[in-house]
A and B are shown apart, each in its own frame.
Chain A
Amino acid sequence: MKSIAIVLLTGALAFMAARAEAQTFSARRLGMGGVVLGASGANVAYRAVPPETSNERSLSLPIGLIQVLSNPPEFDSSKPDFNAYEIANLLYNVPWNLQIVEPDPVSSDVNIAISQSSLSVDLGDVKKVFPSDHSRIGAVVNGPSLGFGIKSVFVGLIPVVEYDNDISLNAALHDALADAQPFVPNTEYALFDKGRAQTAAGAELGAALPLMRSGDRDGFYVGSRVKVLRGLAYADADSKLGFVTGDTLFTNPVDVNFIGTTRSAGPNDGGWGAGLDLGAVWITSGLELGLGVNDIATQIDWKVRESAIYNDPATGKYSEHVLAEQVDYKSRIPAVVTANAAVHLGRTLLAGDVVSGVNNTQSHLGAELWTGPVALRAGGSIDANRLVQGSCGAGWRFGRLGLDLALSSHSRNLTRERALELGAGLSFYR
């Protein structure tokens, strides 16, 4: 049962991560540093660009699932093997690819020393969890679209999911937790968290067409897509957890206070919204430039419930107080900008991109060199943690069938340590 759950969870996360450009599953792209290649991005104009004659369809192989299923994490918190960090890392890094080098597990003791006038906390390995700045995640998932196209026009139905979260510590708490600095008197220690998730169902109507065209693919292509959305669920929270130390740290009990405000809406409270995607691609003499902007001014109307949540330090229990019901609220879906470029130099393809999404910007560079039936690939990227990552890979073509393998470093884990993964895939050439 646990294995089935892991497979289903992995599939769902893999789908969302792939759509959100958060993790690369294609072994070809993985070997090229995760670079966006043509229609693999979210640029609507690529719907009008004819596929390359050597274009293949690829099937990514989930070889990482074997690894996880052979040694699944413990989900029961009462069991001694339960490790929340393992599970969190499973969410950060969908186990699609085989993890060759994984970050060291968080296993050290946490040491806390208390006296009346001092408190020090040494979190050991856990210290690495706290970034020097904000810890942000987020993505917009548009699709998949269920629809059809006639000539340049297409229509479809799409689900839209957006989530983002921003956690930060004030300087005092960061120094205490990340650097094991002693807590000091008369100081506020606080953690802030802003999170939002929204989902909507919508209909899309768009068009993509060449404005100029010469030869097989050369030309200037544009595309646009209008989305009409119906809100299904919305929630956001802005919360603060903290405490203030007195003249001496423990003269009086230290009360940890939580206060947060939330907005929430269910399917019956969802209103209508609209959004726009625009894209353009210019291809000339082996050079390809693309620019796509999705969710330009996308907004959805809601009737939200506004609440305040706080804890009572005396009882430790949380209370929710509804401040207002059926309040008009307009949520935004952040824009995602994808700029990509590629150039063919003989048998070599050079490609690069910059993707600016929700709460992060990533850039990728990659190269592919074909020598007979073998493709050699290499690339690099600056990931969401602003770390430089490298990758390499190879592809073997046997007639219409191909096998792709790629090695890539990444930092998709809670402690942002460098890890190494192996991706595999099959290619079906035309």
Chain B
Amino acid sequence: MRMRRTLLLTAAAVMLAGCGDRRLVLKVDVLSFMDPASRQADFGPIPTFPGGLWTGEIPLIDDQHVSMLQGLNDAADIQSVTLSFGALVIDFDGSGQDTVRIYMSDEQTAPRTTAPVLALGMTLSPGQTDTLRAVLGDDPRVASLFASKQMRVSVTTAVRGPLLGNSLSGRFKLTGIDGVVIAKSKGY
């Protein structure tokens, strides 16, 4: 079964095309700050069990520091921040469920001590590759993080194994975490 959840459609991205309104458009490739080795992880095999075995939250990216532009908040009034997330979930075998959570926090706070900014649930089907894509927009907490000098990011996955059939095994692969900040310059 394929499940795509889009919290905000790409309308925000279309806005980025812009037509010249003296805005500051800041695009941050958050994923590039992650260790390439941590961008994918295999899971399973998780055996069949009545009610399904729950792995708990497994950190894919654990407390990664991301440097931002210093003084952005002083130079511009942030109008919106859009966070887009992309991942592939490759189901080698078995069925189950997966929940991906993205945590973001300020420089002084461990990300996983805060509520996730994004939580995506999906159902896994044997032999199927699912594309996970979501866009989060206009979350004041995320907006303030992108305006800061540095932020911290964690990404976790939590898999529930099959109730019936073969054991669940697969691979989770992050393909993108992009932030887009649209701000009105204070200077011109």
Contact = CB atoms under 8 A, between A and B. Distances in A.
A250 interface: yes
Nearest to B66: A250
Interface residues of A, number: 30
A110 B33 CA distance: 23
A79 to B, nearest CB: 11
A117 interface: yes
A77 interface: yes
Contact of A116 (B23, B32, B74): B32
A119 to B, nearest CB: 9
User: Per DSSP, are chain B's interface residues mostly helix, strand or loop, or mixed?
Assistant: mixed
B156 interface: no
A251 B22 contact: no
B22 A111 contact: no
A114 B187 contact: no
B140 interface: no
Interface stretch (A219-227, A252-260, A287-295, A404-412): A252-260
A110 B25 CA distance: 6
A109 B79 CA distance: 14
B25 A114 contact: no
Nearest to B150: A253
B26 A112 contact: yes
User: Per DSSP, are chain A's interface residues mostly helix, strand or loop, or mixed?
Assistant: loop
B97 interface: no
Contacts of B32: 115-118
Contacts of A256: 70-71
A126 interface: yes
Interface string A80-98: 1011110000000000000
A253 B67 contact: yes
A82 B74 CA distance: 16
B22 A112 contact: no
B29 A113 contact: yes
A313 B29 contact: no
Contacts of A82: 188
Given A82-B188, A250-B66, A313-B70, 18 more contacts: A77-B186, A80-B184, A84-B188, A107-B22, A108-B20, A108-B22, A110-B23, A110-B25, A111-B25, A112-B25, A112-B26, A113-B28, A114-B26, A115-B33, A116-B29, A250-B33, A253-B149, A254-B69
